[in-house]
Amino acid sequence: AILDVLSFPDERLRTVAKPVDNVNDEIKQLVSDMFETMKDEKGIGLAATQVDRHVQVVVMDVSEEQNEPRVFINPEITRKEGATISEEGCLSVPGNYAKVERAEAITVKALDANGDSFELEAEGLLAICIQHELDHLKGVLFIDYLSPLKRQRIRKKLEKEARLAARA
Ligand SMILES: O=C(O)C[C@@H](Cc1ccccc1)C(=O)SCC(=O)c1ccccc1
Ligand SMILES: [Zn+2]
């Protein structure tokens, strides 16, 4: 099923997700719904927090052909190296983009969709996306790295759009 994606400044986006203790059918259904939602929203990543499910589950596909789906359950970054700045967007902050500094290369440890543990070394867009999604699980949005003034401008713009949409 396609799930509703929460939009900033919805406070539920600030919830810290809980670890998954058993990759059961419910979690597998959530993973499937998150992939469907991510594709519908034309994203390359999605965190469970964004669909108001506060468990440590992330789905992603950064490939051109959108045929390299990845699942990260209870992910943690165990190594960060270098620094790189890139323009980020977010399905929960629609229509707003900003430069964000992230680690250039990372190692992430997680469980896959079958509940098996794996470790992945990533760089480039994959590393950026993983860091962006893991922030979501901690209730952190990319706009939190901007100045308070810029963040407030984005909040005002999205609140106005929400008001206009409600009237339409
Ligand atoms: O809101 C999300 O978590 C999805 C978000 C993840 C993301 C990936 C890479 C950089 C920033 C954020 C998106 O999918 S944004 C939309 C998108 O497809 C995209 C954004 C930037 C670069 C490449 C793709
Ligand atoms: Zn996002």
ipTM of the complex: 0.94
pLDDT of residue 46: 99
Residue with tokens 């229509």: 95
Nearest ligand to the CA atom of 41: 1
Asked if 39 and 63 count as a contact pair (C-beta separation under 8 A), the reply is no
Has 88 been annotated as catalytic?
no
CA of 22 from ligand 1 middle (Å) equals 28
Q: Copy the structure tokens of residue 77.
A: 């970054």
Consult the annotation and say whether 54 binds a ligand: no
pLDDT of residue 81: 98
CA of 27 from ligand 1 middle (Å) equals 23
pLDDT of residue 13: 98
Instruction: Give strand ranges (E) for 12-103.
Output: 45-47, 57-60, 70-81, 84-88, 98-102
pLDDT of residue 22: 97
Active-site entry in 36, 68, 133, 159: 133
pLDDT of residue 10: 96
CA of 23 from ligand 2 middle (Å) equals 23
> Is 102 touching ligand 1 by the criterion CB < 6 Å?
no
Nearest ligand to the CA atom of 63: 1
Q: Of 103, 108, 101, 104, whose CA–CA distance to 77 is shortest?
A: 108
Torsion, Cα 103 154 36 110, to 10 degrees, reads 30
Beta pairing partners, 80 = 106
The per-residue pLDDT string of the chain (168 residues; one tens digit each, 9 = 90 and over) reads 999 999 999 999 999 999 999 999 999 999 999 999 999 999 999 999 999 999 999 999 999 999 999 999 999 999 999 999 999 999 999 999 999 999 999 999 999 999 999 999 999 999 999 999 999 999 999 999 999 999 999 999 999 999 999 998
pTM (2 d.p.): 0.97
Q: Copy the structure tokens of residue 100.
A: 């964000």
Nearest-CA residue for atom 20 of ligand 1: 89
